[in-house]
Amino acid sequence: MVGPLTRRERWPTDPDTVKLAFIKDTNTRVRVRDGYVALVARQFEKANPGKKVRLIPVQASENDYYTKIQQKIRKVSS
């Protein structure tokens, strides 16, 4: 699993990679969601040999998170 995508990478088109963006808490001490998402990603990879999960943490408030996700989707579709 790799960290956030850089601007140049955008969204790679590898058919064996699932990209999973998730909201990362703005309080860096809170890591419960990070651990849970990583656990689910490992379980998915184990159940689906040959598939990889690329975690994309988006650190933002709840409203900003949805805005950032919409921007990423727009970039991909254009």
- pTM of this prediction? 0.67
Give 21-58 pLDDT, tens digit per residue.
Answer: 898 887 778 778 889 999 999 999 999 999 999 999 98
Positive or negative: CA dihedral 8, 11, 14, 18: positive
